[in-house]
Structure 1
C-alpha cells in the first residue's frame, strides 16, 4: 500500500486529507480503465470523474482561486492507479483553466459542462515549429471588424479529436504591431466550428488522445476572446504556473506505484535462497527510490502550498517541482524495471506501463532543459532583488 504519511505534513488541511481518502476509495473501485479504445476510455473516465464530483476541482469557483494542493493530490492518486485517468482529469483542468481564471460569466457557462463530465476540453498552444518557444507561434486570428478569422496549425493537442471545446492561442496583432509574445491572444473555440480540421491523430509511447489541428478561415465572434487582446501569453503562463506543479504530482504518483510494486517484488522473489530484499545492493536501490520520492513530494507540495497562500506567481517553485519530480520518477521507474528483471519488460505489465507513461512528462508543459533555464533566470532575478 502506498505511503500516505506525507498527508500529515503541515502543507495540508483536513479537507485535503478527506479528499485523499475519497479519491483513493474511488480509484480502488473504478481503476484501471479498459484501454483497448483510448478515445472511448478517456470519454468514459471524464464522465465517471464528473459523476463522482472530482471535476469540480479542475477550476476556480467565482471569486476564488484554484486549490493547487487539491489538484496535485488528485493527479498523484489517479496516476498511481492509471495514467489515462490522470490524463482525463488533468486535461479538463488545463483545457478550461484559462476560462476559469479569465472568462466572462457567459464564457464560464462551459464550466458547468466540463465539471460534470458532459464536455471535454482541450488546450491548443503548441505548434509544429514552436514547442517551448511560445512567442514564435504563427497561428493568426485576424480581426476583420466583425469577427476573428483563424488560420494555422496546432499539434500534440491533448484531447484533440474528442474535445468539445478548445482554448486556442493565436497571434491577433502583427509582429510589426506587437513583437514576440505581446501580440498573442486566447480564444474559445467550439469543436463543431466550420473550418476546424483534425489533420492527424498522433500515436505516442503511452496512448493518449492527441491530434494535429488545422484552422482554415475559421470565423469566431468577438465574444470568443478570453481576457484582453494581446494578453494570451500572460494567460497561458498563468495557467501553466498553476498546472506545472501538478505534472510533477503525476510523476510522483507513477514513482510511488513503481516503488510499491518493487517492494512487493523484493519480498516475494528469492535469489540465492533468500528474498531479493536481503541483498544490500537491492536495499540501496530501494533507499534511493524512497529518498527521491520524498524529495519530489516536498518540492511539489511546497510549490502548491505557496500558490495556495496567495502568491501571484510560483514560476521558480513550480519549475523546480516539475523538473525534479519528473526526472527522478524516470530514475525510480527505470530501477523498478531493473529489479523486476525480464518481468519488468513484459508488455502490458504495470512496470512496463509506468516506463512508457513517465517519459512524456519530462517534455510537455516545459521540457526539463527549459525548466533549468527558468530556474536559473528566476534565481538570478531573486538574487538581484535581494532575495525578496
Structure 2
C-alpha cells in the first residue's frame, strides 16, 4: 500500500484546481470580510462543482483538492473544507430525508454547514463533552418541528432538549445547520454516551456569538438553551455519536495535513523566487550556502510531509489497517512542517514578509491554527502512541 507519485490525470486535475482558484476564487476571497462567512465564495465553490466533489471523492482526492486550493487561496480552501467537515456526517450517517433536505444546498453553495464538537472544557478530550441532551417523554398531539418528517407517524419520535455550550466552532454563528455532539448517556459513560444531532440554525433556544480570532475565517460560540431535537435529527444511532465524530476526523485529518502542505509549498515557491533574484553580499541570495541549504531543507520537509499525507489518505481509501495512526501522523508531521517552512520563509524574506498584505504575512497567521484544531499536535502524539501499543498487544 502506498502512493509515491501522482498519475498524469491527478497532476492535471491539481493544475486545473490551482487555475480555478487563481481565476475565480482568490478574487472573491479578497472581497470577503475577515471573521464572516464569505457566501459568494461558497456559492462559487458550488458553481464550479467543487462542493459536489466533497461527496463523490475519496480521501486522497480530498487531499489533492485542499492542497491545490491552499497554494492559491487559503480562504477558498478553508471554505471548502468546512463545508465538508460540517456536512460529511449527514452524508455518511444521515437518513434519506436528512440528506435530501440539506445536502443539495451544501453542494450548490446555498447552505453553510458546521461541525460542532469542541466545548469550553472538551476540546482535545472529545469524549468529555458536557452539552446535555435531556430526554422528554413523548407528547401526543404536540406540533412537529419544522422540516422533520416523523419516522413512524403512529409513534411520536423521542424528543430531547439540548442545554450547554459549544465553542471554537468554525462557521458559527452564521451556518445554516450544525452537526452537534451531545451527551445522551450518563457523564461516566464518556464516549458511549454521546449522540450526534443535525440541528438547523433557526431552532428555538439556539444562539451564537462570533469570536475575534487570528484566523480570517469565522469562528464562534454556540449556546443551547433547551434547544428541541428529536430522533429524526439523530445522525447514526443514539449513543453512537463518538463514532460519527472520530470517523469524520479520521477522514479529514490527513486533509488538514494537505492544507498545511499547500501552504508550505506556497511559502517554498515564494522563497525560491525571492532568493533567486534578491541581491546581497555581491550576488543573489541563493549563492549563499547557508540560504541554499535552508531552502533544500524546506523542500525536503515539504515533500516528506506530502508523501505521508498521501499515504494516510490512501490507507483510508483502501480500508487498510492503522488508519487512526496514519491520519494522526500525517496531520502532525504536515502541520509542524508547515509552521517551520513558513517561519523559515519569513526569515529569508526579511522585513518585507511582515508587511500587511504580503503572502507570507498571511501564511504566517494562517499556519498556526492547524496545529491546534481537529486535535492538537500533542493529541496526535497521544493517538499515535495509543495505536502503536494497541498493535503491539495483538
Match of 1:137 in 2: 129
Output the CA distance in 1 between the equivalents of 2:184 and 2:193: 6
Determine helix, strand or coil for the equivalent of 1:138: coil
- Does the aligned pair in 1 maintain the 2:15–2:68 contact within 8 Å? no
The reply to whether residue 43 of structure 1 matches residue 29 of structure 2 is no
The 10-residue stretch of structure 1 (183-192 or 35-44) with the greater mean CA deviation from structure 2: 35-44
- Does the aligned pair in 1 maintain the 2:35–2:219 contact within 8 Å? no
Match of 2:107 in 1: 115
- Does the aligned pair in 2 maintain the 1:156–1:210 contact within 8 Å? yes
Counterpart pick for 2:190 among 180, 192, 201: 180
Structure 2: state its 5+ residue gaps. 139-158
The reply to whether residue 98 of structure 1 matches residue 98 of structure 2 is no
| Corresponding residue pairs, total | 369
Output the CA distance in 1 between the equivalents of 2:187 and 2:290: 58
- Does the aligned pair in 2 maintain the 1:168–1:186 contact within 8 Å? yes
Shift of 1:14: 5.7
- Does the aligned pair in 2 maintain the 1:34–1:41 contact within 8 Å? no
1:215-254 to 2 correspondences below 5 Å: 215-254=224-263
Match of 1:23 in 2: 17
Counterpart pick for 1:303 among 308, 312, 320: 312
Match of 2:298 in 1: 289
Match of 1:372 in 2: 381
Match of 2:203 in 1: 193
Match of 1:77 in 2: 68
Shift of 1:173: 1.5
- Does the aligned pair in 1 maintain the 2:194–2:240 contact within 8 Å? yes
- Does the aligned pair in 2 maintain the 1:42–1:85 contact within 8 Å? no
Return closer, same or farther for 1:111/1:311 CA change in 2, 3 Å cut-off: farther
Return closer, same or farther for 1:225/1:11 CA change in 2, 3 Å cut-off: farther
Output the CA distance in 1 between the equivalents of 2:37 and 2:207: 23
Counterpart pick for 1:328 among 324, 337, 342: 337
Output the CA distance in 1 between the equivalents of 2:309 and 2:316: 11
Output the CA distance in 1 between the equivalents of 2:267 and 2:46: 28
- Does the aligned pair in 1 maintain the 2:322–2:387 contact within 8 Å? no
Q: Which runs of 4+ in 1 moved over 6 A?
A: none
Structure 1: state its 5+ residue gaps. 1-8, 61-65
Return closer, same or farther for 1:208/1:265 CA change in 2, 3 Å cut-off: same
Return closer, same or farther for 1:317/1:113 CA change in 2, 3 Å cut-off: same
- Does the aligned pair in 2 maintain the 1:99–1:226 contact within 8 Å? yes
Output the CA distance in 2 between the equivalents of 1:153 and 1:201: 13
Counterpart pick for 1:150 among 139, 162, 168: 162
Shift of 1:174: 2.0
Return closer, same or farther for 1:10/1:372 CA change in 2, 3 Å cut-off: closer
Output the CA distance in 2 between the equivalents of 1:193 and 1:242: 29
- Does the aligned pair in 2 maintain the 1:241–1:313 contact within 8 Å? no
The 10-residue stretch of structure 1 (93-102 or 14-23) with the greater mean CA deviation from structure 2: 14-23
Counterpart pick for 2:120 among 128, 140, 144: 128
Output the CA distance in 1 between the equivalents of 2:37 and 2:205: 27
Match of 1:34 in 2: 30
The 10-residue stretch of structure 1 (23-32 or 75-84) with the greater mean CA deviation from structure 2: 23-32
Shift of 1:313: 6.0
Shift of 1:145: 2.6
Output the CA distance in 2 between the equivalents of 1:88 and 1:210: 12
Output the CA distance in 1 between the equivalents of 2:258 and 2:86: 18
Output the CA distance in 1 between the equivalents of 2:37 and 2:191: 36
Determine helix, strand or coil for the equivalent of 1:115: helix
Output the CA distance in 2 between the equivalents of 1:128 and 1:190: 22
Output the CA distance in 1 between the equivalents of 2:135 and 2:393: 41
